[in-house]
Amino acid sequence: MEPIKTFELSKEYLESLRLGIEEQQNDFILESLEGVNVADIAALLDELNLDEAIYVLRLLPKATSADILIELDEDSVNKVIRDMEAYELASLIDQMDSDDAADILILMPSKEREEVISHLQEKEKSANILDLLRYDEDTAGGLMAKEYIKANQNWSVIQTIEEIRRQAEKVEKIYSIYVVDNKQHLLGRVSLKKIILSASNTKIMDIYEPELISVPTHLDGEEVAEIMRKYDLESVPVVNAKNKLVGRITVDDILDLIREQSEEDIQAMTGISADVEESDSILRISKARLPWLIIGVVGGLMGAQIITFFEDGLSKYIALASFIPLVAATGGNVGIQSSSLVVQTLASKSVFDDTPWQRFVKGFLIALVNGIVLGLFVFSVVKFIYGFETIFGVTIGLAMFCVVLLASFMGTVTPLVLDKFGINPAIASGPFITTANDLLGLAVYFGVAMTLLKL
């Protein structure tokens, strides 16, 4: 096996590659990229313009170009597949596993997708891809590949070995050999070690292991990921409603799903409303960031209105204004801490998790302890270090206590409510909680001040 070349993308090489493309120095391009990992080549093509990237893809061997296309980010894939002819794209799809092919084709309009499928050489692969396209892409059915190795329980070991040789031509990695009956019902698995060590005439039914974890086609991808993580599985078979084996999900597919969902959660938590990358256009990135920024600005304007409403009280006790940033910042921090813990729990659900009511009570008790400590601390600083009168220290301390309780309540309940309605709860951990707590915190702060200071 030829070792993978260590590759470092530099501006100098990028410029020489662009020059090679411009002057059509095909030998230089092929030699410089020979043995380079496809992920590195994909990163390189992301730096080129569309014409340059497609030139390289057309020049490289079909199998290599297919692997590169899988590694490209979604925006780059969209540009490439729009520019390629149907027959040309089909020649690359022919080199892919069915699940990767479906991921590429799902990005295309249905008419263009059907044209590409019509150019595929393998009719079995066409059928497999069409089958996969029926499933939601974030379910087990959408994640699975149709390429796997199976053995009938009635086969002998020698017959199974011959079938493995035949089937393995279409399977890149062999993790398990699944055992089925004559109607394709999944019965269990058998290891290569057992097959090799068993006598040639031994029946598979005598050596297979019936204990096997499988997932139904409709299971959510996050749940599949959790099952594979929990049981440390490299692959998991997928069955339909009749327990018939229809595909398998491998660990690399799950890692891709986890990465994509983590990126979505991070963007949701930071208030980015669309899937964007730093390399996207200024307009696209701005459009993705603006919605929550506008909400934040609106929240700030509403906060200014709240302060204006209590303007007379502020004029009598001007020192109140000095503690507005403290109250707002503490409320935001408490809200984000509370929501982040809840979101983390929701992301890895377990049958042993607390009920929503138990989570709420626990969150309330934590907030109660934190609120008392922070309230007493602020009272002590205001009274004994800043030298304000006792009633003013009590006001600031009590306001801090109330704000902590309210922010914790918002941070705990909001993700639970969003999750209940099928909305990504990660959005609760960012600008949403911060903006809401700023407004409510200010209202509580001035409410306590007006009551205790009789303003």
- Which CATH number fits the domain that encloses residue 225? 3.10.580.10
pLDDT at 69 exceeding the cut of 90: yes
Most confident of 225-229, 239-243, 329-333, 384-388: 239-243
**pLDDT > 70: what percent of the chain?**
90
**pLDDT > 90: what percent of the chain?**
42
The residue that leads in pLDDT, 286 or 19, is 19
Eight-state DSSP code of residue 261: H
Name residues whose C-beta falls within 8 Å of residue 177's C-beta, 6 or more positions apart in sequence: 149, 150, 151, 160, 164, 189, 190, 191, 192, 195
- Listed range (75-79, 327-331, 424-428) with the worst mean pLDDT: 424-428
Query: Do both 343 and 289 map to the same domain?
Result: yes
What is the reported pLDDT for 5?
Answer: 52
Answer whether residue 265 is part of any domain: no
- Gap between the Cα atoms of 409 and 423, Å rounded: 19
Answer whether residue 140 is part of any domain: no
Query: Do both 293 and 204 map to the same domain?
Result: no
pLDDT at 432 exceeding the cut of 80: no
What is the reported pLDDT for 237?
Answer: 95
pLDDT at 191 exceeding the cut of 50: yes
Query: Do both 155 and 89 map to the same domain?
Result: no
Most confident of 251-255, 415-419, 426-430: 251-255
Domain extent at residue 199: 149-256
What is the reported pLDDT for 339?
Answer: 80
Query: Do both 215 and 239 map to the same domain?
Result: yes
Q: Which of the listed residues 109, 133, 157 is the one where a domain comes to its end?
A: 133
Answer whether residue 68 is part of any domain: yes
Confidence band of 210 (pLDDT split at 50, 70, 90): very high
Query: Do both 208 and 296 map to the same domain?
Result: no
The residue that leads in pLDDT, 420 or 263, is 420
Answer whether residue 139 is part of any domain: no
What is the reported pLDDT for 60?
Answer: 94
pLDDT at 40 exceeding the cut of 50: yes
Q: What is the mean pLDDT of residues 332-360?
A: 72
What is the reported pLDDT for 351?
Answer: 47
Q: What is the mean pLDDT of residues 74-89?
A: 90
Alpha carbon 204 to chain centroid, angstroms: 39
Structure confidence by residue, pLDDT tens digits, 104-155: 999 999 899 999 999 998 888 899 999 999 999 889 999 999 989 999 999 9
- Listed range (8-17, 335-344, 358-367) with the worst mean pLDDT: 335-344
Structure confidence by residue, pLDDT tens digits, 375-419: 999 999 999 988 888 999 999 999 999 999 998 888 888 888 877
Q: Could you tell me which of 122, 119, 41, 46 has the C-alpha nearest to residue 85?
A: 119
pLDDT at 285 exceeding the cut of 50: yes
What is the reported pLDDT for 349?
Answer: 60
Contact call for residues 182 and 205 (beta carbons, < 8 A): no
What is the reported pLDDT for 7?
Answer: 60
Query: Do both 377 and 307 map to the same domain?
Result: yes
How many domains, the chain? 3
What is the reported pLDDT for 428?
Answer: 57
- Gap between the Cα atoms of 381 and 359, Å rounded: 33
What is the reported pLDDT for 240?
Answer: 94
Query: Do both 64 and 156 map to the same domain?
Result: no
Q: What is the mean pLDDT of residues 287-305?
A: 78
The residues pairing with 188 across neighbouring beta strands, listed in sequence order, are 179
Name residues whose C-beta falls within 8 Å of residue 454's C-beta, 6 or more positions apart in sequence: none
Answer whether residue 22 is part of any domain: yes
Query: Do both 17 and 157 map to the same domain?
Result: no
pLDDT at 270 exceeding the cut of 70: no
- Helices marked H in 381-428 — which ranges? 390-420
Query: Do both 438 and 356 map to the same domain?
Result: yes
Residue 450 burial class via C-beta count within 10 angstroms: exposed 0-12, middle 13-18, buried 19 and up:
middle
> From the CB of residue 51, how many other CB atoms can be counted at a distance below 10 Å?
9
- Gap between the Cα atoms of 428 and 340, Å rounded: 8
CATH number of the domain enclosing 114: 1.25.60.10
User: In which residue are the tokens 């199998």 written?
Assistant: 63
- Listed range (18-22, 122-126, 171-175) with the worst mean pLDDT: 171-175
321-345 CB burial, b ≥16 within 10 A, e <16: eebbebbbebbbebbbbbbbbbbeb
Answer whether residue 358 is part of any domain: yes
- Using N-to-C axis directions, what is the helix angle for 98-105 and 62-71, rounded to 10°? 60
What is the reported pLDDT for 430?
Answer: 66
Contact call for residues 321 and 442 (beta carbons, < 8 A): no
CATH number of the domain enclosing 418: 1.10.357.20
Query: Do both 390 and 350 map to the same domain?
Result: yes
Answer whether residue 165 is part of any domain: yes
What is the reported pLDDT for 274?
Answer: 55
Contact call for residues 89 and 114 (beta carbons, < 8 A): no
- Listed range (40-54, 211-225, 430-444) with the worst mean pLDDT: 430-444
Query: Do both 158 and 127 map to the same domain?
Result: no
The residues pairing with 216 across neighbouring beta strands, listed in sequence order, are 239
Query: Do both 190 and 220 map to the same domain?
Result: yes
Answer whether residue 1 is part of any domain: no
Name residues whose C-beta falls within 8 Å of residue 353's C-beta, 6 or more positions apart in sequence: 345
Q: Which of the listed residues 133, 167, 202 is the one where a domain comes to its end?
A: 133
What is the reported pLDDT for 1?
Answer: 46
Q: Which of the listed residues 101, 133, 165 is the one where a domain comes to its end?
A: 133
